[in-house]
Amino acid sequence: MLDELVAWAEIDLDAIAFNVQGFTQYVGDRVEVIAVVKANAYGHGAVMCAKAALAAGATRLAVHRLGEGIELRQAGIEAQILVLGYIPPSGMQTLVDWRLTPALMTPECAQALSSRAEAAGLAVPVHVEVDTGLNRYGLTPADVATFVCYLRGLPALQVEGLYTHFATADWGDQVYVHQQLEEFDAVLEALHASGQEMPFIHVGNSAGAMKLRRAHFHAIRPGISLYGMDPSNEWPAVFPLQPALTLKSRVSRVWDLPVGAAVSYGRTFIARQPTRAALVLVGYGDGYHRILSNRGSVLVHGQRAPILGRICMDQMVVDVGMIPGVQQNDEVVLVGRQGESVLPAEEVAGLAETINYEITTSLLPRITRVYLQAGKIVHVDGY
């Protein structure tokens, strides 16, 4: 099967399980792990990664959009799925139909959900986000108690969760994170004073869960680190992580460039000496960043091969002059491990002037996902 592919990502489900278990062991038995699988599990494949995370000890899932939750339900996943993003009132019937859990912040959405849930004879759990300083989605701290009281007055809604999201948990300087926690604690105290206890509180993302034990509450919401990537470029992960994704391609042509030969669009690379070149079948049409032109590299035979010229939509040229024996159909690694050599997503992200999240999340559907367990292929998307 793999010999048919020219561009694919191998996803190690054992690595996903290892990372989930790292979190469960770190936070202890009393704290749940909500596995964040939004954006196609950060490019790794939502369904397979969600199943692996749940099997490894995660108890719930989180996505950002309604359609992401539906995809998981259609795959037979029964765990609670929290939709963290905005759902229009018109989407509440769909939410009820697929038994998803929304994050609410407006009376209009709450009323729409309540009427549809009541008509279906269901009690739908809902969560509320507090904006403690990210200034994005969520209610201001001053509005939370009133809104929670309003929700509890509506039929068929079960007010279950309260949460917030950190803006700078990945920083070495934790001052602002502690300010956010103080804001959140004040909201909890106000709710307590008004007799409105919240049964399920979750705050810590990957970085927050690692660095702030007092942010564990009832659950944590790790995302990036479930996939084995560092949650911060300012401090190392506090327990071992295993990267789950390896992005691979093949050499489709090997040839010699004479002095003066230009490579790719715009002639941004011109050979100053005879150069052995190889054509690799990945480009920006696959989600591999064009900014890596003339600055990134790939692994061939376990050695670095610099990218020559501009990356095209479907392919790129690399320098294999220092790598003996390169032939057509040889494996190329663009992110991940090949033999003893590693090209981590964090390094690729630095060269692309972005973050590791974007390196994997950018990978488009025509990069076939190949899922491995115990070193064997267990599923291939599209096959």
Positions annotated as catalytic residues are 38, 265
Which one-letter amino acid corresponds to residue 128? V
Query: What's the CA gap between 132 and 212, in Å, rounded?
Result: 16
Query: What's the CA gap between 59 and 81, in Å, rounded?
Result: 10
Which one-letter amino acid corresponds to residue 340? E
Indicate the DSSP class of residue 139: B
Q: Which residue intervals of the chain are DSSP H helices?
A: 13-27, 38-42, 46-56, 66-74, 92-97, 107-120, 141-152, 175-193, 206-211, 345-351, 356-361
Query: What's the CA gap between 202 and 161, in Å, rounded?
Result: 8
Distance of CA 222 to the CA centre of its chain: 9
Indicate the DSSP class of residue 85: S
Q: How far apart are the first and last CA of the chain?
A: 9
Q: In the block, which residue shows the tokens 């994704």?
A: 245
As beta bridge partners, residue 245 has 11
Q: How many distinct helices (H) and strands (E) make up the chain?
A: 11, 20
User: DSSP string covering 15-55, please?
Assistant: HHHHHHHHHHHHH-TTSEEEEE-HHHHHTT-HHHHHHHHHH
- Could you give the 3-state DSSP secondary structure of residue 300? strand
- Distance set, CA 150 to CA 91, 191, 279, 287 (Å): 21, 13, 61, 44
Query: What's the CA gap between 324 and 335, in Å, rounded?
Result: 21
- Could you give the 3-state DSSP secondary structure of residue 130? strand
Query: What's the CA gap between 314 and 35, in Å, rounded?
Result: 33
With CA atoms as reference, report the closest residue to 250 among 298, 284, 195, 290.
298
